[in-house]
Amino acid sequence: MDETMTVPPILYHYTDAAGLAGIVNPSSWPVKYENNKLAYGVAAKLWASDVRYMNDSSELKFGAEVFREQFTAAAADPAVSPELREVFAELARWFDPDRLFEWGLRCFATCFCKKGNLLSQWRGYAGGVGGYAVGFSGESIALNTWAFHPGTTVMGTGTVRATLRQVVYGEDEAKKAAIQFVQGVVSGSGFHVAGPDGKLDMFMLAASAFREIAAVKDSAFEQEHEWRLTTEGDVKYPANLRAGRSGLLPYLEMAVNIRTESDASSCPTISRLVVGPGPHQPAQVAAARELLRNNGHDPEVVVPSDVPFRG
């Protein structure tokens, strides 16, 4: 997380009934902690999808095109050292927007909205009927969310802290983010990631660039008020696969708000749960409260949406 970024107190993840049940009461976790002080407790499980497969791939190409333009310009800038000019040329080769599925790494993301009662989100994620907006504590998301990378370590599944980013919209904001990234590399004040030998680590730098690219979108999506939790990985390592709207979709599992057994003062995982418009809304409010109560969450955070239902 960018330390200068102000995280909203609540960020909402829109989902349907099956999604809510899996988030609040997951059937399993990929890593067991029987002999570890960490405990899942009231942690929630989310799926982070490979961003190359999310919606229309043009969404990711938008950011890649803007960043690649700045990488190419830096690679040709005589004011930049020869070593860094080659680094920028390599980044431009990595992030060719016309070769998304040939990139040397992947980025997984799960999406949140700053607003918990948007008609466009109810329509987009629940057909306008019967959805839920799970309001996670901004603190629990930003500081205590972990992604599970299957098979990335000798011991098996690897856990990596996820990074929270606010999405910015439009070409001007995207260009500003790309220029800031380039300047950070040139000055050494940011994004200049060193490996064990003290030299710039190209893979880690590319992963940082991917995080930034995945956090810019066309201005047409501005009404989404989106934030993203992301994690990056090498394409040679496996991901989980599930059926999506357009076919198979690679994803990773994330745990929100893993805490130590002695940490009784931790912030709540779920601060608010909005039940979307629908013909059975009162019953669903009651059922959602029961689901939270049964899994150690505060049932009183459940509220109905006041968006009118039109069946």
- 218 close to 62: Cβ distance less than 8 angstroms: yes
**For the chain, how are helix, strand and coil distributed in percent, rounded to 5?**
35, 30, 35
User: What does the DSSP assignment read for 53-89?
Assistant: GSS-THHHHHHHHHHHHHHHHHHT-TTS-HHHHHHHH
Q: Specify the DSSP element, H or E, that contains 158.
A: strand 156-161
User: What does the DSSP assignment read for 246-277?
Assistant: TEEEEEEEEEE--EETT-TTPPPSEEEEEEPS
- pLDDT at residue 267, rounded to an integer: 86
Backbone torsions φ then ψ of 17, nearest 5 degrees: -65, -45
Q: Which two tokens stand for residue 126?
A: 């629940």
- Domain limits of the chain? 10-304
Q: Which two tokens stand for residue 102?
A: 């040939």
- pLDDT at residue 193, rounded to an integer: 65
Angular region, 10: left φ>0, alpha ψ -120 to 50, beta rest? beta
What does each of the 311 residues of the chain score in pLDDT, given as a tens digit? Answer: 555 579 999 999 999 999 999 999 998 888 765 544 456 778 999 999 999 998 766 789 999 999 999 999 999 999 999 999 999 999 999 999 999 999 989 999 999 999 999 988 998 876 667 899 999 999 999 988 999 988 766 556 678 889 999 999 999 999 999 999 999 999 886 555 666 666 788 888 999 999 999 999 999 999 999 999 999 988 888 899 999 888 999 999 999 998 655 565 578 999 999 999 998 999 999 999 999 999 999 999 999 999 887 76
- 252 close to 108: Cβ distance less than 8 angstroms: yes
